[in-house]
Amino acid sequence: MYFAKAKTDFLEYLEIEQNRSQKTIANYDHYLTRLIDFAGDIKVEDIDNETVRKWRLWLNRLGTNTNDELDKATLNYHLIALRSFLKFCAKRNINALSAEKIELARSFRKQVTFLNEDELARLFAQPDTTKVNGVRDRAILELLFSTGLRVSELAKLDRDSINLKRREFLVRGKGQKDRPVFVSDSAAKWIERYLEIRQDNSKPLFIRYGGTKSVDLSGNYHRLSVRSIQRLVEKYAKLAGITKHVSPHTMRHSFATDLLMNGADLRSVQAMLGHSNIATTQIYTHVTDPHLRAIHQKFHDKH
């Protein structure tokens, strides 16, 4: 079977049988098409170790607008897509290279940026809560830290998404996986306050105010976009005098770090973040390293 045909079958498999998102499917299509760009529409059985080695070299030298080389994380995305494709071939008894033969490139672990207690307090104090958009922004900041939501997940929330009495709800994250999310007392209070002063009946939980498009009271408010949420977090971080780069994902890092520093186990944090692989969650463990000496002294250094 030729690669282009097998690729189409694989992408349909991801959509129908694996229920993967359209974004994931588009990304896999992009990465695998680059193998066709390099080698042409060769037969699947002709993709051997040497083909993969030369493709990796070609990808490495492909570069970007800002760099002469493709970074290792992006290179690995291509290899992960190929590995998934080869696993699919094995399931369908298509003669192909073993997926285990595809080794990922070594990459540097990303530095985790998080906010400490003082920085969080300064950040939360920035929105002008005498105005409706200030109350909205405070609710957003509190909810990001309380739940560890991805910014895309937060932007999709509707009024009826959250049960404020139970202070919990389900969110559908990456890979169409549902996970429970828990809302702190403080976040619930600010969301309630925001909803009380809303003068519309529109569906989204967080809406934008002002802008060029006119807004009426019939519910035609516009949902706050992911980019708008990113901008407001960055704005308040600067106002708070926080010099490090702060984004909604920094709030997610802060949520995970806070849980671990207060004794939560890694598996629980993995579940609350919605990570499919615990290796992804382990990027946070070095943050708690300063506590290891104290733990050693408390539980072991007694002789």
Catalytic residue list contains 275: yes
Query: Residues 239, 143: one domain?
Result: yes
Catalytic residue list contains 150: yes
The pLDDT of residue 110 is 63
Catalytic residue list contains 92: no
CATH number for the domain that contains residue 22: 1.10.150.130
User: Which residue in 157, 148, 143, 251 sits closest to 193, CA to CA?
Assistant: 143
DSSP class of 50: H
pTM score, two decimals?
0.68
Q: Would 70 be classed as within a structural domain? A: yes
What confidence tier does 218 reach under pLDDT thresholds 50, 70, 90?
Answer: very low
Q: Of 78, 150, 194, 236, which residue is the catalytic one?
A: 150
Q: DSSP characters for 14-27?
A: HHHTS---HHHHHH
The answer to whether residues 101 and 49 touch, using CB atoms and an 8 Å cutoff, is: yes
The more confident residue out of 60 and 79 is 79
Q: Would 300 be classed as within a structural domain? A: no
| Residue type, position 143, single letter | L
Distances (CA, A) of 79 to 56, 100, 130: 8, 11, 51
The mean pLDDT of the chain is 87
Q: Would 107 be classed as within a structural domain? A: no
| Mean pLDDT in residue range 200-220 | 70
Query: Residues 171, 97: one domain?
Result: no
The model's pLDDT over 20-35, given as tens digits with 9 standing for 90+, comes to 888 889 999 999 999 9
Catalytic residue list contains 284: yes
Give the side-chain half-sphere CA count within 13 A for 83: 12
Q: Which domain holds residue 14?
A: 3-101
Q: Of 34, 87, 174, 198, which residue is the catalytic one?
A: 174
User: Which residue in 175, 126, 124 sits closest to 153, CA to CA?
Assistant: 175
The model's pLDDT over 248-268, given as tens digits with 9 standing for 90+, comes to 999 999 999 888 888 888 888
Q: How many domains does the chain have?
A: 2
